[in-house]
Amino acid sequence: MKPGLGMFRLPKVIANQCERTKLLSEERQHVWLSRINRKDFKNLDHIRVCGRHFISGKPSGLMDGGNPDWASTQHLGY
């Protein structure tokens, strides 16, 4: 991994705020998992994605759904 690139946790589902936040966070987690494209994860708390998989080097915010870094798009390996 290149120096300066971070590791980012799989986004959690946010259930204790408004319904929009819950739905967006569920969708985002689903998109991240589908782009990771692995079926062998046993514990979602341990999943990390390297900054290399994001255009800017890090994921955008939850409410920034139009940003290509909302979920990984680079070097996906498939």
For the stretch 16-74, pLDDT in tens is 999 999 999 999 999 999 999 988 888 889 999 999 999 999 999 999 999 999 999 99
Q: Tell me, what's the pLDDT at 1?
A: 55
Burial 45-71 (b: 16+ CB within 10 A, else e): eebebbbebbeebebbeeeeeeeebbb
Highest mean pLDDT among 3-7, 11-15, 42-46, 74-78: 11-15
